[in-house]
Amino acid sequence: MNFAELAGLAGGHAEARAIQVAVKLGMFEHLARQPLDDAALARALECDRRATALLGNTMVALGLLDKHDGRFELSAASRRYLLGSSSEYLGDMILFDEALFATWANLEETIRSGTTARAPDMYQSRRDETERFIRAMDSLTRARGDAEWIAEHLDLREVETIADIGGGPGAYMAALLKRWPRLRAAIYDLPGTLEVTRRILAEREPRLASRIDLVRVDYLRDEFPGPVGALFMSNIIHSEDAATNTNLFEKCFRALRSGGLLLVKDHIMNAELTEPRAGAVFSLYLMLTTRGRDYSFEEVSSWLGSAGFTGIARTTLPSPPFTSSIVLARKP
């Protein structure tokens, strides 16, 4: 690693914070209407002219805006990922990170004490936090293309029913139903989340609503309804500790039909817990906000084997853009 690479890593918070503020202020949405100079943009944002110009210049330097004859305009990247009208809008994820930015200020204390910087409630204590979190997950999944990749590469021709545990916005189930017309799906999640799920599906996938059952399930306390042909679990185990995940897999085993599939999508780490890099860094966020961390394939396999699953295998999604894997297991 050279100086420039290290300096870029150490100062990355500046770029992140600038992008978050630009999205929060609505800079990209205003420029979608027409190019604006710094004075006009500042008036539109109700911000200081000099400060707006500096932020706009930063967005140009980062490739998120273009600037010609003193006027700012959208770049191809911002038009694709930073407009709410885009099907690949990443802004909700950026705004979620913006809301949690102050949490990172507690990293040193969390390292020293081992305690979380906020209650590990999975953003269920307040309706506005639940909405922001679930829409962030929807935004990230749609912008990166996770659900479409899974639907294209997952063979469910022998499966009639599938349930998504902690399925949140429903992006994965919607993509799978489009790919497999005979399939019926359910989303198992908490009541507050399912209110948001219902709104997102009505906005995004109204034609699929009749094929998706929204079922109130607390995966920490409830048994999973069954039997079903397949269970899908994306980015759930990383929020929980080893004992909870062992119990989760045991409940999955009981809910599946004989021969049923369990699919676990997550950052699946190497044995040293250092790769993929995104998973190692994300474990710090998990330490700040949850009971968990990212786990190795060996750890996940041991929990699955203890629950009774066989045929345990791992598929790593292509990187870039993805940083996760799928672990597939079968109930004999």
Mutual angle of helices 127-144 and 91-99, in 10-degree steps: 140
Does residue 123 sit in the same domain as residue 239? yes
pLDDT score of 108 more than 90: yes
Reported pTM: 0.93
Does residue 76 sit in the same domain as residue 125? no
Question: What are the residue ranges of helices labelled H in 114-211?
Answer: 127-144, 146-153, 171-179, 191-204
- Paired with 315 in beta bridges are 326
Number of domains, the chain: 2
Residue 161 burial (CB < 10 Å; 0-12/13-18/19+)?
Answer: middle
State the average pLDDT over residues 37-45.
98
What is the Cα–Cα distance from 179 to 100, expressed in whole angstroms? 35
Quote the tokens at residue 197: 């799920």
CATH of the domain at 79: 1.10.10.10
Residue-level pLDDT at 226: 87
- Asked which of 63, 83, 103 is the last residue of a domain, the reply is 83
Does residue 79 sit in the same domain as residue 223? no
What is the Cα–Cα distance from 27 to 37, expressed in whole angstroms? 12
Q: Which pLDDT band, with edges at 50, 70 and 90, does 209 fall under? A: confident
State the average pLDDT over residues 110-114.
96
* Residue 106 domain-assigned (yes or no): no
Question: Domain span at residue 51?
Answer: 3-83
Does residue 164 sit in the same domain as residue 303? yes
- 119-139, pLDDT tens digit by residue? 999 899 999 999 999 999 999
- 253-290, pLDDT tens digit by residue? 999 999 999 999 999 999 999 999 999 999 999 999 99
- 71-80, pLDDT tens digit by residue? 999 999 999 9
State the average pLDDT over residues 306-319.
97
State the average pLDDT over residues 164-188.
97
